[in-house]
């Protein structure tokens, strides 16, 4: 009898390779579990029953061809901003409620090639705008640790589906923290890779210079495996890197690794409980031999304003395409095409409208230099400061989120308060650098995340260090999940 909540990716693959279980059986098991738990936490927008079974049977009947695939038969949920051919992809919005993409995102093809089974499309904030999964047209997703709280956002459904073992892994997107913050609030591992290391082709665009697809998993090893399965050059994404990613050997200690605590974001607005768990993880790193110091990164405190000019500006341009004429939802009550466009676009949710207004304003000719232009200049300064910081330290750490999972409804009517949730995660998107969140303890019985940032293309080092910390802290964290 396989217990989904106890299964890791490696164990799942071993069971399949040893023919203890077929891919179809594993898929059916996770489909059933997804359907059952989804009723309680609303983590999924679509359960891909037919296509998943079809994919599983294809693998079972051509087993030898697939035997050594890195994600053989592993059930995965995919955030609903990532295009899946012939499977509804909504971006959590009424505007794309019935949209069925005619192609797969590059990463989806990669996943299928790797033998993973796409069993569901996960709930998310509308067009990935939010930190609580409450802006979704399909209703909020709940945190499996405490059903009164949010799972974080915008990839809340992805994080919640992994934490509650509806799937073993997931992919999400991170523009300002949308993988790391929900990973932190749900007690799992999530990574935003280096900008350009994972193709964005087929990702429904939000803030294109910040957006990055990345992996979620229950542990660092599985997260690493998923990252290397989706990374790689794609000619369809002009920002896709050609750099060959090397998976280095695991470290046996942190001796010689210089780790900087980023004071600017590790101090302000961080709750006492989060601070305590974070400091505990610093002690662990020290005991593993790391050389720990403190670092201040110039201009990093400007990340929030820089983000809230850059992301909405790019969003206002990217979301222009939803006009009720080309595709997606259309309100046909208009007498002219302009009226159709206006009526259709009035169906965006509040938060999306706020971003479009903000972005359009910041890009307008009289204000461009003052707002968007200035934000880009400061973005350059933040990037330079990180480059300087990485001369002194190999990696930079902070808590992932200033607080643990908060109550549903407690922040949704206060956008400025909601925006503070990403204060620690946004700098990595602004600089384009990779950053992971791993569980590092609890506060009030809810999980706390540690963020580890590194220079561009340092994923392999981040994974090795994260694995050592994870091993040493030995939290067995998901035992506390309630569903
Ligand atoms: N919470 C941030 C926002 O609402 C980040 C979202 C994201 O990373 N997609 O913009």
54: annotated active-site residue: no
252 among known catalytic residues: no
Q: 112 CA to middle of ligand 1, Å? A: 27
State which of 125, 126, 131 you would mutate to test the pocket of ligand 1, scoring each by most atoms of that ligand within 8 A of its C-beta. Answer: 131
Question: Is the pLDDT assigned to residue 266 strictly greater than 80?
Answer: no
Q: Which atom of ligand 1 is nearest to the CA of 419?
A: 1
The predicted pLDDT at position 478 comes to: 84
Closest CA to 231 of 417, 474, 449, 457: 457
Which pLDDT tens digit goes with each residue over 404-420?
999 999 999 999 999 99
Own/partner long-range contacts of 329-338 (Cβ < 8 Å, ≥24 apart): 329/94, 329/95, 329/96, 329/97, 329/98
pLDDT given at position 355:
98
- Dihedral sign for Cα 78, 79, 83, 88, please: positive
What architecture does CATH give domain 4-254+458-480? Alpha-Beta Complex (3.90)
Atom of ligand 1 at shortest range from CA of 206:
9
pLDDT tens digit string along 47-58?
999 999 999 999
Question: How many angstroms does the Cα of residue 480 sit away from the middle of ligand 1?
Answer: 27
Structure tokens at 301: 């405190």
Closest protein CA for atom 5 of ligand 1: 176
Q: Which atom of ligand 1 is nearest to the CA of 207?
A: 9
* Closest ligand 1 atom to 351 CA: 4
pLDDT in tens, 74-124: 999 999 999 999 999 999 999 999 999 999 999 999 999 999 999 999 999
Q: Of 22, 83, 154, 401, which is the active-site residue?
A: 154
| pLDDT the model gives residue 246 | 79
d(CA 464, CA 246): 12
For the chain, what is the largest distance between any 2 Cα atoms, rounded to a whole number of angstroms?
A: 70
Instruction: Please tell me which residue in 79, 192, 218, 225 is annotated as part of the active site.
Output: 79
User: CB within 6 Å of ligand 1 — which residues?
Assistant: 128-131, 154, 174-178, 206, 311, 422
- Residue 244, pLDDT score: 86
CA–CA gap between residue 172 and residue 225 (Å, rounded): 15
Query: How far, rounded to the nearest angstrom, does the alpha carbon of residue 353 sit from its chain's CA centroid?
Result: 23
pLDDT at residue 457, as a whole number: 96
Return the number of other C-beta atoms located less than 10 Å from residue 242's C-beta: 9
Percent of the chain having pLDDT more than 70?
Answer: 100
353 pLDDT above the threshold of 80:
yes
Ligand 1 atom nearest the C-alpha of 128 is 9
CA of 311 to the centre of ligand 1 (A): 9
Average pLDDT over residues 247-271: 88
At 80-91, the pLDDT tens digits run 999 999 999 999
**How does pLDDT run across 295-341, given as a tens digit for each residue?**
999 999 999 999 999 999 999 999 999 999 988 899 999 999 999 99
Section 267-281 average pLDDT: 93
Which of 91, 152, 171, 177 is the pocket-test mutation for ligand 1 (most atoms within 8 Å of CB)? 177
Q: Domain residues of the chain, as ranges? A: 4-254+458-480
Ligand 1 pocket mutation, candidates 93, 127, 129, criterion most atoms within 8 A of CB: 129
**Which DSSP state fits 249?**
P
Task: Output the CA 397–ligand 1 centroid distance in Å.
Answer: 20
Protein residue with its CA nearest to atom 10 in ligand 1:
129
- Residue 475 has a pLDDT of 87
* C-alpha distance from residue 225 to each of 212, 231, 478 (Å): 17, 10, 20
Cα of 449 vs centre of ligand 1, distance in Å, is 17
Distance from the alpha carbon of residue 15 to the mean position of ligand 1, in angstroms:
38
CA 175 to ligand 1: nearest atom: 8
Q: Is 255 a catalytic site residue?
A: no
Q: For residue 178, how far is its CA from the centre of ligand 1 (angstroms)?
A: 5
Q: What is the CA radius of gyration of the chain?
A: 21
Measure the CA–CA gap between 380 and 466, rounded to whole angstroms: 28
**Three-state SS letters, 189-236:** EEEECCCCCCCCCCECCCCCCCCCEEEEECCHHHHHHHHHHHCCCCCC
Alpha helices in 1-61 (DSSP H): 9-17, 23-41, 49-61
């Amino acid at each position: 009898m396989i217990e989904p909540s106890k299964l890791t990716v490696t164990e799942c693959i071993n069971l399949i390779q040893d023919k203890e279980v077929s891919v179809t059986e594993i898929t059916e098991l996770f489909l059933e579990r997804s359907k059952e738990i989804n009723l309680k936490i609303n983590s999924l927008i679509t359960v891909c029953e037919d296509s998943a079974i079809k994919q599983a049977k294809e693998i079972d009947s051509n087993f030898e061809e697939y035997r050594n695939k890195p994600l053989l038969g592993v059930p995965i949920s995919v955030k609903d901003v990532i295009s899946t051919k012939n499977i509804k992809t909504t971006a959590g919005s009424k505007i794309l409620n019935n949209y069925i993409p005619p192609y797969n995102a590059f990463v989806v093809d990669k996943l299928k090639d790797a033998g993973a089974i796409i069993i569901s499309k996960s709930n998310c904030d509308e067009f990935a705008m939010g930190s609580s999964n409450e802006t979704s047209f399909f209703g909020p997703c709940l945190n499996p640790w405490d059903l009164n709280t949010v799972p974080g956002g915008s990839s809340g459904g992805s994080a919640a589906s992994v934490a509650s073992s509806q799937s073993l892994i997931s992919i999400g997107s991170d523009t300002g923290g949308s993988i790391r913050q929900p990973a932190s609030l749900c007690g799992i591992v999530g990574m935003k890779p280096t900008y350009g290391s994972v193709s964005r082709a087929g990702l429904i665009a939000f803030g294109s210079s910040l957006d990055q697809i990345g992996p979620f998993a229950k542990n660092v090893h599985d997260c690493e495996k998923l990252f290397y399965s989706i990374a790689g050059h794609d000619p369809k994404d002009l920002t896709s890197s050609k750099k060959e990613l090397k998976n280095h050997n695991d470290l046996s200690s942190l001796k010689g690794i210089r780790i900087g605590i980023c004071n600017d974001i590790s101090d302000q607005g961080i709750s006492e409980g989060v601070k305590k768990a974070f400091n505990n993880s610093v002690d662990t790193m020290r005991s593993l031999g790391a050389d720990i110091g403190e670092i201040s990164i110039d201009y990093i405190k400007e990340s929030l304003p820089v983000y809230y000019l850059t992301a909405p500006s790019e969003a206002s341009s990217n979301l222009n395409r939803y006009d009720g004429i080309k595709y997606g939802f259309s309100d046909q009550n208009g007498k002219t095409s302009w009226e159709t466009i206006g009526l259709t676009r009035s169906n965006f949710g509040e938060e999306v409208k706020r971003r479009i207004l903000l972005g359009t304003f910041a890009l307008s000719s009289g204000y461009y230099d003052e707002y968007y232009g200035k934000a880009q200049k400061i973005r350059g300064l933040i990037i330079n400061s990180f480059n300087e910081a990485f001369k002194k330290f190999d990696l930079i750490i902070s808590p992932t989120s200033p607080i643990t999972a908060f109550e549903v409804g407690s922040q949704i009517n206060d956008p400025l308060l909601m925006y503070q949730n990403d204060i620690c995660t946004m700098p990595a998107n602004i600089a384009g650098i990779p950053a992971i969140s791993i569980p590092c303890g609890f506060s009030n019985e809810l999980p706390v995340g540690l963020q580890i940032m590194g220079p561009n293309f340092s994923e392999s080092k981040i994974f090795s260090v994260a694995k050592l910390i994870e091993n040493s802290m030995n939290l067995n964290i998901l035992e506390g999940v309630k569903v």
